[in-house]
Amino acid sequence: MTTRREFLRQSAAAMAAGLILPRSLNAFTLNEKRVSPSDQLNVALVGCKNMGWYDLTDIMQCNGVKCVGLCDVDKNILAEKAADAEKRWGYHVDTYTDYRRLLERSDLDAVIIGTPDHWHCLIMTDACSAGKDVYVEKPIANSISECDAMVLAAKRYNRVVQVGQQQRSSKLWQQMKSIIDSGQLGTIARVNVWANFRYAAVLNPAKDGPVPEGVDFQMWLGPAPDRTFNRSRFHGSWRMFWDYGGGLLTDWGVHLLDMALWGMNVKGMPRRIMASGANNAYPDNFAETFDTMQVIYEFDKFNIQWSNVTIESGPYGKNYGLEFKGTEGTLVVNRESMELYPQDKSKEMQSWKPMNNEHADHARDFVDSVRERRFDTACPISNGSFCAKYAHMGNIAARTRETLVYDDKQHTFHNKQADRFIEKAYRKPWKMPKWK
């Protein structure tokens, strides 16, 4: 009998020989409650702080999963998480400061990527080429070209990929989709999407200083431009600097725009994108990304409108969420609740609360997909790319102050100012993976 590990090794050999593997191999479907030692799933985490660790701990709740490696450029975090891992799971976990050494392990099945955004593409494409399946945090990449490169890599190497847009595994958001598809909202003219979080303002910044002991800052920078160390651009706050992230639009926007696009059955690019962005709330904001921003994505029969501001309040008493505005009713939803307000005032408002642990179920879906060789995960790389592109297009429109139309087939805005943001130059010796 062929074990799962033997199957994976055979798959890697077949890919190296240029053979195409079938999309689904149900013979390797495993029962969640009964997993033999030969079918143990070995996983590793690259980027151990915050969301990456959260992803790992939920994946480790699945039966038959073992963590065999932790990788981080900060030895302080690495030591802390290694100690936590041993305490949680009762065994020593190997540690690495260079993800390439981790990928050399023949016993490694899947990689979780929880690094800053500018590292996602290289690690993911390298993991795929090494025959590893991937759980990658959102947004999948820090540029449109990287999104395309990651989709190509997953397809080329026949890898299972789950993107950390866990709302796709939420019963509450699935109920949202059912209500919209039922037609009870009537004609939806506009979808309003907002996320107002103060962390988008980097106030009282530190001055540039020495690299902290134990941090490989050159490895942290990776393909991004060389730059002096500043703790206000480091852990967490890196999201607010263009070389590493895209502000609230790529951090929260991919989650919420995903739901807007899904709800409205959008499959392609908008007719045009218009945007405005500035640091209006905090003019002395150290962040490069915008603390105040509006984006309009125009379609034939409706608009999707994004807004963010660093003042934590919003419509319906929610500092983030979506509003589907229809002729027969308005649906308002975020992770905490959903409300349906009928246009007919004689009808009562309806409400729903979360019905499952969406993050845990999203992790389980990844594990099941790897075992079953199922590529249509809850949030596959194609959908992660689609949503990330929408976020990047909004940022590019705001940065150029141009009304834009993106040609996804030709990989161009047909606008010189906008096109220079599609692909980011990689710092040597790192090389941008093939993307077109």
**Residue whose pair of structure tokens reads 């160390």 in the numeric block:** 229
Q: Which amino acid is at 410?
A: Q
- pLDDT given at position 15: 40
Query: Residues 353-369: pLDDT tens digits?
Result: 999 999 999 999 999 99
**Residue whose pair of structure tokens reads 């690094």 in the numeric block:** 115
Query: Residues 229-252: pLDDT tens digits?
Result: 999 999 999 999 999 999 999 999
Whether residue 41 has pLDDT greater than 80: yes
- pLDDT given at position 38: 60
Which residues sit opposite 193 in a β-bridge?
A: 306, 322
| Residue 261 CA: distances (Å) to CA of 153, 177, 233 | 24, 10, 31
Neighbours of 200 (CB within 10 A): 28
Residue 88: Cβ-neighbour burial (10 angstroms; 0-12, 13-18, 19+): middle
Name the average pLDDT for the chain. 92
Cα–Cα distance for residue pair 116/132, rounded to 1 Å: 20
Inter-residue contact 68 to 74 (CB < 8 Å): no
DSSP for 316-371 reads GG-SEEEEEEESSEEEEE-SS-EEEEESSTTSPPEEE---S-HHHHHHHHHHHHHH
Inter-residue contact 381 to 168 (CB < 8 Å): no
Three-state DSSP state, 39? helix
| Residue 198 CA: distances (Å) to CA of 240, 248, 282, 291, 422 | 12, 10, 10, 8, 28
Best CA proximity match to 291, nearest among 317, 307, 310: 310
Inter-residue contact 304 to 265 (CB < 8 Å): no
Cα–Cα distance for residue pair 345/36, rounded to 1 Å: 58
Cα–Cα distance for residue pair 336/320, rounded to 1 Å: 10
Cα–Cα distance for residue pair 21/2, rounded to 1 Å: 16
Angle between helices 144-156 and 117-129 (to 10 degrees): 20
What is the chain's length?
A: 436
Cα–Cα distance for residue pair 241/243, rounded to 1 Å: 6
- pLDDT given at position 37: 54
Whether residue 25 has pLDDT greater than 60: no
Query: Residues 366-379: pLDDT tens digits?
Result: 999 999 999 999 99
Whether residue 94 has pLDDT greater than 50: yes
Query: Residues 282-321: pLDDT tens digits?
Result: 999 999 999 999 999 999 999 999 999 999 999 999 999 9
Buried b (16+ CB within 10 A) or exposed e, 412-434: ebebeebbebbbbebeeeeebbe
- Counting DSSP H helices and E strands in the chain, the numbers are 13, 14
Where does 149-224 show beta strands of DSSP type E? 161-163, 188-195
Cα–Cα distance for residue pair 415/233, rounded to 1 Å: 30
Query: Residues 103-141: pLDDT tens digits?
Result: 999 999 999 999 999 999 999 999 999 999 999 999 999
Termini Cα distance of the chain: 40
Confidence of residue 57 (pLDDT cuts 50, 70, 90): very high
- pLDDT given at position 39: 81
Strand pairing category for 272-278 and 292-298: antiparallel
* Both structure tokens of 176: 């949202």
- pLDDT given at position 36: 52
CA angle 58, 61, 63 (to 5 degrees): 140
Three-state DSSP state, 30? coil
